[in-house]
Amino acid sequence: MTNPTITRIKGDQALTFTSDITIHVLQDIELNSPILIEGLPGVGHVGKLVAEHLIDELHAERIIDIYSTHLPPQVIALEDSTVRLSRNELYAHHTENGDDLLILVGDYQSVTNEGHYILCDAFLDIAQQLDVSRIYTLGGYATYQLEDADSVVGAVNNPDLIEELSGYGVEFQENEPWGGIVGISGIMLAMSEARGIDAACLMGITSGYLVDPKSSQAVLRVLSQALGIEVDTQALDEHAAEMEKVVAKLQEMQQMQESMNRGDEDLRYIG
Amino acid sequence: MTNPTITRIKGDQALTFTSDITIHVLQDIELNSPILIEGLPGVGHVGKLVAEHLIDELHAERIIDIYSTHLPPQVIALEDSTVRLSRNELYAHHTENGDDLLILVGDYQSVTNEGHYILCDAFLDIAQQLDVSRIYTLGGYATYQLEDADSVVGAVNNPDLIEELSGYGVEFQENEPWGGIVGISGIMLAMSEARGIDAACLMGITSGYLVDPKSSQAVLRVLSQALGIEVDTQALDEHAAEMEKVVAKLQEMQQMQESMNRGDEDLRYIG
Amino acid sequence: MTNPTITRIKGDQALTFTSDITIHVLQDIELNSPILIEGLPGVGHVGKLVAEHLIDELHAERIIDIYSTHLPPQVIALEDSTVRLSRNELYAHHTENGDDLLILVGDYQSVTNEGHYILCDAFLDIAQQLDVSRIYTLGGYATYQLEDADSVVGAVNNPDLIEELSGYGVEFQENEPWGGIVGISGIMLAMSEARGIDAACLMGITSGYLVDPKSSQAVLRVLSQALGIEVDTQALDEHAAEMEKVVAKLQEMQQMQESMNRGDEDLRYIG
Amino acid sequence: MTNPTITRIKGDQALTFTSDITIHVLQDIELNSPILIEGLPGVGHVGKLVAEHLIDELHAERIIDIYSTHLPPQVIALEDSTVRLSRNELYAHHTENGDDLLILVGDYQSVTNEGHYILCDAFLDIAQQLDVSRIYTLGGYATYQLEDADSVVGAVNNPDLIEELSGYGVEFQENEPWGGIVGISGIMLAMSEARGIDAACLMGITSGYLVDPKSSQAVLRVLSQALGIEVDTQALDEHAAEMEKVVAKLQEMQQMQESMNRGDEDLRYIG
Predicted confidence band at D261 (pLDDT cuts at 50, 70, 90)? low
- pLDDT over 50 at B271, yes or no: no
- pLDDT over 80 at B265, yes or no: no
Q: What are the residues whose beta carbons fall under 8 Å from the beta carbon of C56, sequence distance 6 or more? A: C235
Task: Give CA–CA dist C262/B174, Å, rounded.
Answer: 48
* B65 at A interface, C-beta within 8 A: no
pLDDT tens-place string over residues B52-76: 999 999 999 999 999 999 999 999 9
Query: For residue B120, which phi and psi values (nearest 5 degrees)?
Result: -60, -45
* A20 at D interface, C-beta within 8 A: yes
Residue B229, SS3 per DSSP:
coil
Chain C nearest C-alpha distance from D195 (Å): 24
Predicted confidence band at D84 (pLDDT cuts at 50, 70, 90)? very high
Identify the CA nearest to B229 among candidates B13, B20, B37: B37
Q: Do A70 and D113 touch (CB under 8 A)?
A: yes
Chain A nearest C-alpha distance from B241 (Å): 24
Identify the CA nearest to D141 among candidates D206, D46, D217, D201: D206
Q: What is the mean pLDDT of chain C?
A: 91
B20, B78, B86 member nearest A2 (Cβ):
B20
Comparing alpha-carbon positions, the chain B residue that sits nearest to C2 is B1
> In chain C, which among 159-188 make CB contacts under 8 A with chain D?
159, 162, 172-178, 180-184, 186-187
Identify the CA nearest to B15 among candidates A134, A2, A191: A191
Chain C nearest C-alpha distance from D32 (Å): 33
**Interval B37-66 mean pLDDT:** 96
**Interval A114-121 mean pLDDT:** 97
So what's the pLDDT on residue D257? 74
D5, D79, D85 member nearest C190 (Cβ):
D85
- pLDDT over 70 at D189, yes or no: yes
Do the beta carbons of residue B234 and residue B264 sit within 8 Å?
Answer: no
* D106 at C interface, C-beta within 8 A: no
Alpha helices in chain C (DSSP H): 46-58, 113-129, 161-167, 184-193, 213-227, 234-270
Do the beta carbons of residue A43 and residue A49 sit within 8 Å?
Answer: no
Q: What share of chain A is helix, strand, coil (3-state, %, to 5)?
A: 40, 25, 35
Handedness of CA D226, D227, D228, D233 (dihedral sign): negative
Q: Which of A1-5, A150-154, A195-199, B113-117 has the lowest mean pLDDT?
A: A1-5
So what's the pLDDT on residue C12? 83
The tally of CA atoms less than 13 A away on the side-chain side of residue B265 is: 6
Q: Which of A132-141, A142-151, B233-242, D192-201 has the lowest mean pLDDT?
A: A142-151
So what's the pLDDT on residue C109? 97
Do the beta carbons of residue B62 and residue B26 sit within 8 Å?
Answer: yes
| C6-232 belongs to CATH 3.40.50.10900 | yes
Top-confidence range, A251-260, C174-183, C252-261, D131-140: D131-140
* A257 at D interface, C-beta within 8 A: no
The tally of CA atoms less than 13 A away on the side-chain side of residue C136 is: 30
Q: What is the mean pLDDT of chain B?
A: 91
pLDDT tens-place string over residues D125-181: 999 999 999 999 999 999 988 777 789 999 999 999 999 999 999 999 988 888 899
Q: Please name every residue paired with B178 in a beta bridge, in sequence order, or none if there are none.
A: none
Predicted confidence band at C159 (pLDDT cuts at 50, 70, 90)? very high
Identify the CA nearest to B42 among candidates B88, B94, B5: B88
Q: Do A180 and B83 touch (CB under 8 A)?
A: yes
Q: What are the residues whose beta carbons fall under 8 Å from the beta carbon of B234, sequence distance 6 or more? A: none
Q: What are the residues whose beta carbons fall under 8 Å from the beta carbon of D174, sequence distance 6 or more? A: A79, A80, A81
Interface-testing mutation among A17, A21, A256, with chain D (most D C-beta atoms within 10 A): A17
Identify the CA nearest to A2 among candidates B90, B9, B67: B67
Residue A169 is classified by DSSP as T
Residue B159, SS3 per DSSP:
coil
- pLDDT over 60 at D110, yes or no: yes
- pLDDT over 80 at D268, yes or no: no
Residue B78, SS3 per DSSP:
coil
* B70 at A interface, C-beta within 8 A: yes
Chain A nearest C-alpha distance from B68 (Å): 9
Q: Do D73 and C159 touch (CB under 8 A)?
A: no
* C116 at D interface, C-beta within 8 A: yes
A1-12 burial string, b = 16+ CB within 10 Å, else e?
A: bbbbbbbebeee
- pLDDT over 70 at D260, yes or no: no
So what's the pLDDT on residue A185? 97
Task: Give CA–CA dist D48/B255, Å, rounded.
Answer: 55
Task: Give CA–CA dist A189/A201, Å, rounded.
Answer: 7
**Interval D45-69 mean pLDDT:** 96
- pLDDT over 90 at D196, yes or no: yes
So what's the pLDDT on residue A70? 97
Interface-testing mutation among C17, C119, C256, C266, with chain B (most B C-beta atoms within 10 A): C17
Residues of D in contact with C152 (CB under 8 A): none
Residues of A in contact with B70 (CB under 8 A): 113-114
So what's the pLDDT on residue C261? 60
Q: What angle do CA B89, B93, B98 make, to 5 degrees?
A: 140
* B143 at A interface, C-beta within 8 A: no
**Pairing of the two strands B35-38 and B134-142:** parallel
Cite the beta strand spans of D53-211 per DSSP E.
Answer: 61-68, 74-77, 83-85, 88-93, 101-106, 134-142, 152-156, 170-171, 181-182, 198-206
Burial of residue C139 (CB within 10 Å: 0-12, 13-18, 19+) is buried
Interface-testing mutation among C43, C117, C181, with chain D (most D C-beta atoms within 10 A): C117
Residue D182, SS3 per DSSP:
strand
Q: Do A73 and D116 touch (CB under 8 A)?
A: yes
Do the beta carbons of residue C36 and residue C60 sit within 8 Å?
Answer: no
Query: For residue A20, which phi and psi values (nearest 5 degrees)?
Result: -55, -45
Burial of residue A26 (CB within 10 Å: 0-12, 13-18, 19+) is middle
Chain D nearest C-alpha distance from C143 (Å): 16
Do the beta carbons of residue C95 and residue C107 sit within 8 Å?
Answer: no
C181-182 sheet: strands from edge to edge: C181-182, D74-77, D83-85
So what's the pLDDT on residue A260? 66
More confident residue, B115 or A150: B115
C216-249 burial string, b = 16+ CB within 10 Å, else e?
A: bbbbbbbbbbbbebebebeebeebbeebeeebee
How many residues are given for chain B? Answer: 271
Q: Do D82 and C155 touch (CB under 8 A)?
A: yes
* A259 at B interface, C-beta within 8 A: no
Do the beta carbons of residue C77 and residue B178 sit within 8 Å?
Answer: yes
**pTM listed for this prediction:** 0.91
Identify the CA nearest to C173 among candidates D75, D86, D76, D79: D79
Task: Give CA–CA dist B83/A156, Å, rounded.
Answer: 7
- pLDDT over 90 at C73, yes or no: yes
**Pairing of the two strands B152-156 and B198-206:** antiparallel
So what's the pLDDT on residue C248? 83
Q: What is the mean pLDDT of chain D?
A: 91
Do the beta carbons of residue D85 and residue C181 sit within 8 Å?
Answer: no
Predicted confidence band at D266 (pLDDT cuts at 50, 70, 90)? very low
Task: Give CA–CA dist C46/C40, Å, rounded.
Answer: 9
Predicted confidence band at A267 (pLDDT cuts at 50, 70, 90)? very low
Omega cis (within 30) before A177: yes
So what's the pLDDT on residue A147? 73
So what's the pLDDT on residue B261? 60
B2, B73, B78 member nearest A117 (Cβ):
B73
Residues of C in contact with B113 (CB under 8 A): 69-70, 72-73, 111-112
Predicted confidence band at A271 (pLDDT cuts at 50, 70, 90)? very low
pLDDT tens-place string over residues A59-72: 999 999 999 999 99
Predicted confidence band at B12 (pLDDT cuts at 50, 70, 90)? confident
pLDDT tens-place string over residues C74-111: 999 999 999 999 999 999 999 887 789 999 999 999 99
Do the beta carbons of residue A38 and residue A124 sit within 8 Å?
Answer: no
Comparing alpha-carbon positions, the chain C residue that sits nearest to B159 is C82
Query: For residue A131, which phi and psi values (nearest 5 degrees)?
Result: 65, 45
pLDDT tens-place string over residues A210-255: 899 999 999 999 999 999 999 998 888 888 888 888 888 888 887 8
Q: Do C5 and B4 touch (CB under 8 A)?
A: no
D155, D182, D195 member nearest A14 (Cβ):
D195
- pLDDT over 50 at C38, yes or no: yes
More confident residue, C240 or B164: B164
